[in-house]
A and B are shown apart, each in its own frame.
Chain A
Amino acid sequence: MSDDQEKNSSTTSSGVSRREFLKIGGITVAVPLVAGPRVVEAAGAPVKVYGPGKVPIELAVNGKKQALQLEPRVTLLDALRDSLDITGAKRVCDRGECGACTVLMDHKAVYACSILAIDARGKDIVTVESLMQGDALHPIQQAFVDNDASQCGFCTPGFVVATKAFLDKYPNPHAEDIRRGLSGNLCRCGTYHGIQQVVAQMSRKGA
């Protein structure tokens, strides 16, 4: 992924904008597939075409290799949830607007609903489930508990992952950084006050 696709506090908190997603979706593929794609000419360049049937897709999720058979149109989010039963990332808007599906891809926060599983091959995918350290909550997760930063909890996994990615990149954010850096995730219950406290607390600690 290029730098301009990184989680950027001055634009959006997700890693991949919709436009970038459209640009990369199914067109450029870094890793060759087991079942060879067809190659067609498009806009004067050869383009690999997969599907429309199921193709083998290997994903590395939470440090574990997972071999799947999926149609190329299946998103990373649906692959995680429906094929791997990894359900921490939630499907809410399903189009890159709310952040409930946020996962880390090569250490960057991305909207899993807006990435095709086929484009996640060869990437290091980390979901909220793997943040715990044994039986202990990650310090950010503990801060969510302490500051009561979840109510119904459906946005919470996305927020936890986004917060981690944000603090990894900006360990000592200003209040304005926090507001902007975490504005790519939405909460209906309105737990934002608690989330602000989480980030304030973690940045004091220098997480």
Chain B
Amino acid sequence: MPDYNWPDAEHRTLIGKRISRVDSPVKVSGRAKYSYDYHGTGMLFGKVLRSPYAKARIVSIDTTAAEKMPGVRAVQVIQKPGTTVQWAGDEVVAVAAVDEPTAEDAVRAIKVKYQPLSYLVSDAEPPAGAGEGGGPLAEDDIYDALSNQVPDNQLIDTLEKQGVSFKVDEDFLKELKGYQVPDPVVQAIKSAPYREAKGAARSSYQKATAITLGNADQAFANAEVVSEGLYGAPVIAHCCLEAHGSVAEWPDANHLLVHISTQNVSGIADQMAEPLTVPATNIRVRQDHVGGGFGSKFAADRWDIATARLSRKAGKPVRIMLERDAELEVAGARPSAYARVKLAAKKDGTLTGWQSQSWGTGGPGGGGMPPIPYVFAIPNQKKEHTAVRNNIGPARAWRAPNHPQAAVITMGALDDLAAKLNMDPLELLRENLDLVVKDRQSTYREELGIASELMGWKEKWRPRAQNVSDNIARGLGVSVHTWGGRGHASNCDLTIHPDGSVDIKIGTQDLGTGTRTTILIVAAESLGLPLEAISLYIGDTLYPPSGGSGGSTTPGGVSSSTRRAAVDAREAVFAIAAPALMARPEELECANGTIRVKSDPGRSLTWKQACAKIGAVPITKRGHNDSVAANNHPDLTNSGVGGVGMADVEVDLETGVVKVKKMVAVQDCGLIVDLKLAESSCYGAMAMGISYALFEEKVFDQLTGRMLNPNMQFYRLAGLNDIPELVVHMMTGKGYDERGVIGLGEPPVISPGAAIANAVANAIGVRVPFLPLTPDRVLTALGQKAGA
């Protein structure tokens, strides 16, 4: 049996080194082609008419004038009269025309009559008692729960308690399986009791979770200290710079070619097949580069289906890429989460009890409770979560779904407790590390020490509001986080040609996370070749399927499938080369572009010489990684990482403006494939963290039901001017490397928000409850402190 295991440290020549991103040159020179850049021959430009109402019944649609306009080639009604739109910006009609201005004119010429309905766009705290006795779940509720990443156990629990209001048929279950819904959830839906939905309109509030662990009441009765607070994070957007969308073209009546901006190349065809009534095998999906996804680009969206339909009607390629306002309104939202938290503890800071009433929205589907208390399994807990179902548009997975919110709530509460105890919060975290999952305790201890050194915590930290001069308050904050990992299902074909050239085909995508670089490093390391010697082809359904890039599962998935393919191909070359080297295949190794005898490296063939013996037919080996770790022998990935984030901030007490002065990230992710790119992930995540901590929020107008800031002026992202000194330390070496490859997309983005919020509290001496920490909120908190 070939040895697939990762080479140990002394045998690694590429893995773990600092290697430049292989697709940087095409990106910096503007040659990288994104789906948005694809221009098919005779391509038409599509535009979408969107609902101006947050909730309305479509009464009538008149497209006559648009269809008669010169240059208009196809019109496609997306939602028919009689349908109820559930959010402003919802798609109603799409048109395709010879150029963009004409398409815009055509959209304006369409007449739609709406009957506006009452709506809710607020996610303010639900009234007391709201949402008791949740009714049975409709199909939409289940779709919403799944797209909102409601944790599996919460959804299963709700299904068992509340049942479903529709007959679950095999088609529905099959569809869910197609979306890779975990089996236990599918089973729970299948076996959920049928209950008739009550006639009344369903409540905007749904009691989503009520969990009691241990004896919380007693813990609070016996507590030496109780700390209370309010914490939360709003709905934010993904704001991928490349908008969602696609170009569709039909080479013939039964075959569709889609150039789509996606995190899920191999998963798109199956989603388009049914609505378009074309076999999935007749749908080819292509994408070279994607301009950001962050969790929002797994689906063939409604507008992508409309694009394909317009193209079929018009007989020409059609492009619809969302306008920026639509991108911010409908193409991605991170659910909000807010909580009133009470903590019980001993005087030494030992946590003994947690109580929380939380709420939040993920749009029409409500959403689930974030994993609170986060990281620390406090022994006695009582927690309730109310999901707010409203009309702000659907939620999508946002980098580390639910975790940044959980960190803001939990780490904020721990920080407030530390302040009440007059303790350094870093000490409070250390004191409670035995509440952390056992395998991570020493990791966190080590990481907290390193982070503290890098931040200069000991020298800089002061109790709250004691570092003020000239109206500038300075403070430090800390947060810890965790994430899973493993590897998604992945297949990789590696071919060695008789001329020595090597190619790899794998139906994955590179979101800017370094997937191409990861694959090439693993293959080159395994074959003893330089990266440049290998041609890599990704982003096409013609290549072996590989999972969608979510949950930090791509590095594990593609590195495993690539490693297996490369090792198998290498073994095949060894078998062919062995006679010429008068050795047995197992005595051979490849290094530095040669194949040689391990015990006698002088006996060698160049790679080319060895491959020349392959014969006429190239060697192709398929490497596979199974998403179930136990099915991989050996499993080359792992799950479960810990990380620490720290922030040093300045707050202007007169203006309320928060400036981050320094951030530190310390992170483990098992065996690091490329140290340079791993560090980049952390640098980037800190910048993104500063952005959502200080600026980002989807603001809704209660009077019109519309998003007020669907542009990049008022939906502000952090810019270069907001980025302070950033320090990254990756955990490597013994205790980390041997764990195998673990993805890094999610973890480092989790702590920054909480760390910055805690640093602001440390600086100004009062908690600003909700992100983003805008000047008005800082001043309000300061005002309340002064008035108290």
Q: With A94-B324, A145-B21 known to touch, is A150 a contact of B27 (CB < 8 Å)?
A: yes
User: Is the CB of A151 closer than 8 A to any CB of chain B?
Assistant: yes
Bitwise interface map of A from 121 to 133 toward B, beta carbon under 8 Å scored 1, else 0:
0000001110110
- Measured between alpha carbons, how far is A182 from B683 in the docked complex, in Å? 18
User: Is the CB of B215 closer than 8 A to any CB of chain A?
Assistant: no
User: Is the CB of A153 closer than 8 A to any CB of chain B?
Assistant: yes
Q: Which of B11-38 contact A (CB under 8 A)?
A: 20-21, 23-25, 27-34, 36-37
Residues from chain B with Cβ under 8 Å of A92 in the complex: 241-243, 324, 712
Q: With A144-B24, A179-B720, A186-B719 known to touch, is A154 a contact of B687 (CB < 8 Å)?
A: no
Bitwise interface map of B from 643 to 656 toward A, beta carbon under 8 Å scored 1, else 0:
00000000000000
- Measured between alpha carbons, how far is A148 from B21 in the docked complex, in Å? 7
Residues from chain A with Cβ under 8 Å of B241 in the complex: 90, 92, 98, 100, 152, 154-155, 186-188
- Measured between alpha carbons, how far is A204 from B310 in the docked complex, in Å? 54
User: Is the CB of A82 closer than 8 A to any CB of chain B?
Assistant: yes
Residues from chain A with Cβ under 8 Å of B691 in the complex: 190
Q: Which of A160-207 contact B (CB under 8 A)?
A: 160, 178-180, 182-196
Residues from chain B with Cβ under 8 Å of A89 in the complex: 30
Residues from chain A with Cβ under 8 Å of B720 in the complex: 178-179, 182-183, 185, 192, 195-196
Number of interface residues of B (CB under 8 A): 56
- Quick check: which of B288-296, B614-622, B734-742 contacts chain A, the rest being far away? B288-296
User: Is the CB of B239 closer than 8 A to any CB of chain A?
Assistant: yes
Contacting pair B688 A190 (CB below 8 A): yes
Q: Which residue in A128, A149, A186 is a CB contact (below 8 Å) of B712? A: A186
Contacting pair A90 B687 (CB below 8 A): no
- B586 vs chain A, min Cβ distance (A): 39
Q: With A82-B39, A87-B30, A152-B512 known to touch, is A188 a contact of B294 (CB < 8 Å)?
A: yes
- Measured between alpha carbons, how far is A78 from B25 in the docked complex, in Å? 24
User: Is the CB of B511 closer than 8 A to any CB of chain A?
Assistant: yes
Residues from chain A with Cβ under 8 Å of B36 in the complex: 87, 90-91
Bitwise interface map of B from 219 to 252 toward A, beta carbon under 8 Å scored 1, else 0:
0000000000000000000011111000000000
Bitwise interface map of B from 714 to 747 toward A, beta carbon under 8 Å scored 1, else 0:
0001111101001000000000000000000000
- A86 vs chain B, min Cβ distance (A): 8
User: Is the CB of A3 closer than 8 A to any CB of chain B?
Assistant: no
Residues from chain B with Cβ under 8 Å of A191 in the complex: 680, 683-684, 687
Bitwise interface map of B from 84 to 107 toward A, beta carbon under 8 Å scored 1, else 0:
000000000000000111000000
Contacting pair B721 A154 (CB below 8 A): no
- Measured between alpha carbons, how far is A100 from B717 in the docked complex, in Å? 13
Residues from chain B with Cβ under 8 Å of A87 in the complex: 30, 33-34, 36-37, 39
Residues from chain B with Cβ under 8 Å of A73 in the complex: 101
Grouping DSSP codes into helix (H, G, I), strand (E, B) and loop, the A interface class, with mixed when no group exceeds half, is: loop
Residues from chain A with Cβ under 8 Å of B292 in the complex: 152, 154, 188-189
- B689 vs chain A, min Cβ distance (A): 8
User: Is the CB of A93 closer than 8 A to any CB of chain B?
Assistant: yes
Contacting pair A88 B24 (CB below 8 A): no
Residues from chain A with Cβ under 8 Å of B242 in the complex: 90, 92, 152, 154
- B259 vs chain A, min Cβ distance (A): 13
Contacting pair B687 A187 (CB below 8 A): yes
- Measured between alpha carbons, how far is A83 from B24 in the docked complex, in Å? 26
- Measured between alpha carbons, how far is A148 from B682 in the docked complex, in Å? 12
User: Is the CB of A156 closer than 8 A to any CB of chain B?
Assistant: yes
User: Is the CB of B323 closer than 8 A to any CB of chain A?
Assistant: yes
Contacting pair A145 B324 (CB below 8 A): no
User: Is the CB of A15 closer than 8 A to any CB of chain B?
Assistant: no
Contacting pair B101 A71 (CB below 8 A): yes
Q: Closest chain B residue to A72 by CB distance?
A: B101
Contacting pair B723 A74 (CB below 8 A): no
Interface residues of B (CB under 8 A from A): 20-21, 23-25, 27-34, 36-37, 39, 45, 99-101, 239-243, 289-292, 294, 321, 323-324, 511-513, 676-677, 680, 683-688, 691, 711-713, 717-721, 723, 726
> Nearest 6 A-B pairs (CB), nearest first?
A88-B30, A190-B687, A154-B291, A152-B512, A153-B27, A151-B512
Interface residues of A (CB under 8 A from B): 71, 73-74, 78, 81-82, 85, 87-95, 97-98, 100, 127-129, 131-132, 137, 141-142, 144-146, 148-157, 160, 178-180, 182-196
Given A87-B39, A190-B684, A193-B684, 14 other A-B residues pairs in contact with their CB atoms under 8 A: A81-B37, A87-B36, A89-B30, A95-B324, A128-B28, A137-B25, A141-B25, A148-B21, A153-B23, A153-B24, A160-B30, A185-B720, A189-B688, A191-B687
17 CB contacts below 8 A, A to B, read A73-B101, A88-B31, A90-B242, A97-B711, A137-B25, A137-B29, A148-B680, A151-B511, A153-B24, A153-B512, A155-B241, A156-B28, A188-B294, A188-B717, A189-B684, A191-B683, A194-B680
